[in-house]
Amino acid sequence: MTRSNNPSRVNPILATASQELRDNLTSHGNHRHYFPNEELFAVGEEADYLPIILNGRVKMVQFPEPGKEVIIGVFGAGEMFAVPPVVDGDVYPASAYALEESEILLLHRDDVFKLLEKSPEFTLALLRWMSSMLRQKTALIRTLAGGSAEQRIAGVLIRLFTASSDEPPHKVKLRREDIARMAGLTTETAIRTIRHLAAIGDIRIVRGKILIDSIDGLSSHLKG
């Protein structure tokens, strides 16, 4: 399975951006370096900046209750995120933390609108991002509303695969605990389910790491 044949995936903006758009983003944005687990922004803060990941990975999380973390998104190199609150002038709906050492381009909200006015390419990229996120959120809600453990884990793994800019196989870098939180399951249930998916050939486990060659087998769990 090639990336270009995956209709649910939108290429990271920097993967397909023209040199003109790259220059515009660089000239308007501020470069920031973040260490693992360092906070980019906190839930409830004014969404003044649109983050674009130059390299590294970032997670967005919510804390519905003390000690409980729910991962609502993981983003990699070339991707932008937290688009809706920046566009509508609201606050960030979740907190963001670097999963690894990361370089982030922060584009101020005023500059976002300047680019929307003068760059059709940027406008199209933002619209594609919004459409992709809407599809993913709809699918996630449908799965979490009544899905089995296999459906939930399969849904999370598909999201991670389609969000990756790497060629297959995709190595899942998240911990089993993180996957469990994204799926709304206990860590024990997630581990057991992941092992089952590996046993039936939908994924591979090599030296403790989850490898996904394609989403064909995983997708079969979401049918019906």
Which residues does 85 contact at the CB level (< 8 Å), separation at least 6?
47, 91, 92, 93
Q: What is the mean pLDDT of the chain?
A: 86
∠ CA 50-55-57, nearest 5°, is 75
The pLDDT tens digits for 137-155 are 776 666 666 678 998 899 8
Domain with CATH 1.10.10.10 in the chain: 147-220
How many angstroms separate the CA atoms of 95 and 187, rounded?
Answer: 22
Q: What is the pLDDT of residue 7?
A: 35
In the chain, list all ranges with CATH 2.60.120.10. Answer: 12-134
Instruction: Report the length, in residues, of the chain.
Output: 224
Amino acid 146: pLDDT: 63
pLDDT tens-digit readout, 9-32: 445 788 888 999 999 999 999 999
Judge whether 108 and 32 are in contact, CB under 8 Å.
no
Closest of 46, 23, 54, 15 to residue 110, by C-alpha: 46
Considering the chain, what percentage of its residues have pLDDT values greater than 90?
Answer: 52
With tokens 């079969």, the residue in question is 220
Mean pLDDT of 31-56: 95
Could you tell me the fold of the domain covering 12-134? Jelly Rolls (2.60.120)
Q: Which two tokens stand for residue 159?
A: 């999201």
Question: Regarding the domain delimited by 147-220, which CATH topology (the fold level of the hierarchy) does it fall under?
Answer: Arc Repressor Mutant, subunit A (1.10.10)
Q: On the CB side of 75, how many CA atoms lie within 13 Å of its CA?
A: 30
